[in-house]
Amino acid sequence: MNDNYQTLDYSFVNTSFEQRNRVLRNTYWLLALSLVPTVLGAWLGVATGLSLALSGGLGLVVFLVGAFGFIYAIERTKNSAMGVPVLLGFTFFMGIMLSRMIAMVLGFKNGTELVMMAFGGTAGVFFMMASLSTMIKRELSGLGKWLYVGAVVLMVGGLINIFVGSSAGMMVISMLSIAIFSAYMLYDIKSIIDGGETNYISATLALYLDIINVFQSLLALLGIFGGERE
C-alpha cells in the first residue's frame, strides 16, 4: 500500500511539473507572437499619422476604453478558441497606442537608434528576470499586493502628469515604472513556474503588459536624456 501511494504521489508531481512547463512554453511562444501585431500597429500609427490624432484627452479616452475593454474580453475568452485572436487584437491596439511616443522619438536625429536601444534594454530585462525566476526557490506570492499598490500609484501619477506636463515628473515616473514592472516580470514568471498561473493566455497578457510598460518607460528616458535634435 505504501509503495502504491509513493508511485501515485510521484505521478502527480511529474504531471504537475509537465503541466507547468507546458504553460510556460506556450506563454513564451504566444508572447513572441504577440510582438508581431504590436510592431505592425506601431508602424501603421507612425506611417499614417494616426499617432497625432491620439494625443491629448482623446488619446487618453481611446486608450482607457480600448485597453480595459480588450482586457475584459481576453479574460472572458481565455478558455475558448477566441482567446488568442482577441489577445493578438489587443497587442495590435497597443502598438497603435505606442506609435505616438515612437513617432516623437523618431523625430530625433538618432531616433531609430533610441528605439532599438529601448527594445534591446527591454529584452535584456526580460531575460534577466526569466533567469532569476528559475534560481529563486521561495514563493513570491506576498510580493503581488505591494506591486499592485505601486502600479496603482504609478497610474495615478501618470494621469496627473499628462495634464501637468512635467519633464521631471515623467522622468521619475518612468524610472519607477521600470523598477515596478521589471519586478512584475519576475513575479509573473515565478507564478507560472510555481503553478499559480495555469492559463497561458492570462500569463501572456500579464507578461505583455510588463514588457510594454518597461519598453515605453525606457523609450521615454532615452528620449529625455539621449535625444539629439536635428
Classify residue 51 as exposed, middle or buried by CB count within 10 Å of its CB (0-12, 13-18, 19+). Answer: buried
pLDDT over 70 (residue 70)? yes
Q: Please report where in the chains the cell 480595459 appears, as a residue.
A: 68
pLDDT tops 60 at residue 99: yes
Global pTM exceeds 0.95: no
Sequence-ordered alpha helix ranges (H) in the chain: 2-48, 50-53, 56-77, 83-106, 111-135, 143-164, 167-193, 200-226
Q: What is the pLDDT of residue 228?
A: 65
Percent of the chain with pLDDT over 70: 90
Whether residue 111 has pLDDT greater than 80: yes
CA–CA distance, 157 with 164 (Å, rounded to integer): 10
pLDDT surpassing 70 at residue 103: yes
